Amino acid sequence: MRDRQTVSADELKALDIYWRAANYLGAAQIYLRENCLLQEPLQPEHIKPRLLGHWGTVPGINFVYTHLNRLITQTKQSVLLVTGPGHGAPANLANLYLEGTLAKFYPELVLTKDGLTCFVSQFSMPGGFPSHLSPATPGCIHEGGELGYALATAFGAAFDNPDLIVACIVGDGEAETGPTATAWHGTKYLNPACDGAVLPILHLNGYKISSGTIFGAMSDEELLSLFRGYGYEVEIVNAGGDTIEERASVHRQMAAALDSAHTVIRNIQQTARVSSAQERPRYPMLILRSPKGWTCPKELDGKTLENSFRSHQVPIDKPQDNPEHLDLLSRWLLSYRPDELFDSEGRPDPQLLASCPTGDLRIGMNVHAYGGNLRRELRLPDFQRYAVTVNQHGAIRGSDTFRLGEYLRDVLRMNEADDGTTANFRVFCPDELMSNKLGAIFEATSRQFAWPANSQDEHIGSEGRVLEVLSEHTCQGWLQGYLLTGRHGLFPCYEAFAPIVDSMMNQYAKFLKVSAEIEWRKPVASLTYLLSSEGWRQDHNGYSHQGPGFINSLLTKKADHVRIYLPPDTNCLLSTINHCLTSTDKINLVIASKQRMPQWLSMDEADEHCRKGATIWRWASTDNGEEPDVVLAASGVYPTNELLAAAWLLRDELPDLRVRVVNVTDLLILQTESFHPHGLTPEAFDSLFTANKPVIFNFHGYPVAVKQLLFHRPAFPRFQINGYIEEGTTTTPFDLFVQNLASRYHVVVQAVRAVAEMNSNVAAQSDSIVSHYEEKLIAHHDYIRKHGEDMPEIVDWQWS
């Protein structure tokens, strides 16, 4: 890019002094515990005992932040910053300190000598800020501890925020990740008429921890071709140099690039907001080429330091143990001339502070970074209006998600933009709404896709409340950005592919956990996964689609922030989703059926069942409210169906057997109340499962999940837990239960054998009953191989 004179000499001086101050504070945080202004010669005791943090990306982040401040000051543009490079927190924190944001939340971090010493010395110390961004960092909606998710999160923040620009710094190591590769396509979904914009800034310093990056090895021509192919208008800023003149040239380049990017974004938006003519917008992006560890020493012990991987983390390790290294560190820190940046009392130079925006225009104070303060309650229709009429348990069939689609259609309608407010609810989905029988949503909205679509395509246009892209990572990132900036959303997905975002969910759960410990972080709307196309009905897609393991991942998270629901029918699903959409600071996992299945409970019964989390289904039990001989329990649509069929068979085989049927919809009630807020007390647990009777538990997922939940319950060995045991193929629906030893026939055999040990009447009949159902299993095996479908007694079975 050619050098353009866009800033005055005074502005250049102000930019450079601010950048030097941020760099000094970045390096000081990594090294110093005392003498933080270097007002006396540096000594070993001034160095932290453990040196943590990553220097290599810090000068580049500071450079971007410096110039974003200039843009904001001149244009009054609202800018939210999402920082992708993993452990670049020293940079963000330095800028937050200088602009005064940290003092707003941490009063001790004021712009004085004591405040500066406190700020520098506590970095990466116990109780201080960690080396990566965290919820304790003001202005942060993305931790950056795990690479790859910054850009998708940035786009999520921009949706329905028409006046916001989200600047997203993407490290060139981070840019190698799969999630980032897909996230570049986010511009194709932004609607410039009603959304904000994302300005990606690829920070290309050439190195990861110990080797070069792919993007660092690419020429400018290759980079331009790649990102123009993505649809961007690309500007490359080549940074570096040691002299004032060289840095002035780089400052001019960056200022011109940001000015141009801002103008292009505003032109795209203004055109879209006054005209309905649709063209492919080409949004700007910047590529900042800068030396790794820019401004640190050139060499250490004869090896290159600046502009090499050796500057990635702590460039000068353990200087307190090596006088030559300590001297080099001292000369490095003094090269920023801290005596010119701060007076003897630690107050920053007034010219330095003049570079910072004020009030809510400060990057760290951007209102959108505090979504809990902006969150508006969803307007929700009465979910009972969508109820399935159940006059007789199990007499009718229906698709649970089909009816839910009608409810969600009206949620979307009720939360459109009006009265000067923006829309408040979106659905993020990897191309599966129709497959998951949620198509009624398209009666209220369409898929948003800003680029022109073919005329034959359905339910797609530049405006819409549904965002579909075949990338679970991108959907998760979009939703996180949307929630953390104060809005609401839903993530429908195939069950087998939810684990693709397991690591993202893990990071988000940590974000919620830490946020709950910070007073100024207010609750945000919950992240709700709706998993359908479950493994038990992936008989046609085969073994690769049969995987309920996402449940297990959530069970490892803090109990205050995780909920797992397995509603057994439509009315329970409606009640559950309605509850999830009103909850805050949770990760809700809801697993539901899209196939036509028996409808068991009336709406009143379903609502009570969901409020309690588990109930005895008296209508299916034969214990007459007395102590049963055996408890049959189930959680999940298809395991419930098999369990009820087993109870029906036992009623015929052993009329005098006292069977209690229990259904669990809130899985975490199985934990003790000391482990989970929803956990049942011992008395409530025994009222469902008895204190000592055998329990056969048919579970939707892996049996180990229920074993984990029951571990602290007494008499745990009396539970026999069935579930998915990693057996499957392309087969019939019932055969999946047979292969995983969880079919109705297996449950009958388990119940008979368990009761026979304590009941002589059952024991006398047990051998013949067991033999009968073992023969049934053989007959099933032969039948499906001959006919390719389940036996009529399975397909046509109905509760009566």
Whole-angstrom distance, CA of residue 622 vs CA of residue 777: 26
Residue with tokens 């709950």: 516
| pLDDT for the residue 649 | 98
Which sequence spans correspond to the domains of the chain? 9-356, 373-596, 613-795
167 DSSP β-pair partners: 81, 199
* Axis crossing angle, helix 89-98 with helix 113-122, rounded to the nearest 10: 160
Would you list the DSSP string of 164-210?
Answer: EEEEEEEETTGGGSHHHHHHGGGGGT--TTTS-EEEEEEEE-SB-SS
Q: Specify burial of residue 703 (Cβ count, 10 A radius: 0-12, 13-18, 19+).
A: buried
The two three-digit tokens of residue 474, written as one number: 């991108």
| pLDDT for the residue 625 | 87
Contacts 24+ apart (CB under 8 A), 502-506: 502/550, 502/553, 503/146, 504/146, 504/149, 504/179, 504/473, 504/476, 504/477, 504/480, 505/476, 505/553, 505/554, 505/587, 506/553, 506/557
| Residue 96, CA distances (Å) to 3, 44, 357, 366 in order | 30, 28, 11, 12
- As assigned by CATH, the class of the 373-596 domain is alpha beta
Whole-angstrom distance, CA of residue 137 vs CA of residue 520: 11
Residues in Cβ contact with 565 at an 8 Å cutoff, skipping those fewer than 6 apart: 576, 580, 588, 589, 590, 591, 610, 665, 666, 667
Instruction: Report the CATH architecture of 613-795.
Output: 3-Layer(aba) Sandwich (3.40)
358-376 residues labelled b (16+ CB within 10 A) or e (exposed): eeebbbbbbebbbbbeebe
445-457 residues labelled b (16+ CB within 10 A) or e (exposed): bbbbbbeebeeee
| pLDDT for the residue 1 | 38
| Residue 729, CA distances (Å) to 105, 549, 739, 740, 787 in order | 56, 17, 9, 11, 17
Contact of 699 with 634, CB cutoff 8 Å: yes
- Letter for the amino acid at 177? T
Q: Give me the average pLDDT of each 10-residue run along the chain (800 residues).
A: 63 94 98 97 96 93 98 97 91 98 98 97 93 95 88 98 97 95 97 96 94 95 97 96 88 96 96 81 96 95 93 93 96 97 95 94 98 97 98 97 98 90 94 92 95 86 94 98 98 95 95 96 98 90 92 94 98 98 98 97 98 97 94 98 98 96 97 86 96 97 96 88 96 96 98 94 94 97 96 96
SS3 (DSSP) at 341? helix
Contact of 70 with 17, CB cutoff 8 Å: no
Fold match between 9-356 and 613-795? yes
Pick the CATH number of 9-356 from 3.10.620.30, 3.40.50.970, 2.40.160.60, 3.40.190.10: 3.40.50.970
| Residue 584, CA distances (Å) to 372, 416, 428, 515 in order | 9, 21, 18, 12
564 DSSP β-pair partners: 589
Whole-angstrom distance, CA of residue 636 vs CA of residue 699: 6
Q: Half-sphere exposure of 798 toward its Cβ, with a 13 Å CA cutoff?
A: 11
Whole-angstrom distance, CA of residue 382 vs CA of residue 575: 10
**493 phi and psi, to 5 degrees?**
-160, 155
Whole-angstrom distance, CA of residue 276 vs CA of residue 52: 53
**To which H or E segment does residue 139 belong?**
none
Whole-angstrom distance, CA of residue 758 vs CA of residue 240: 82
| pLDDT for the residue 278 | 64
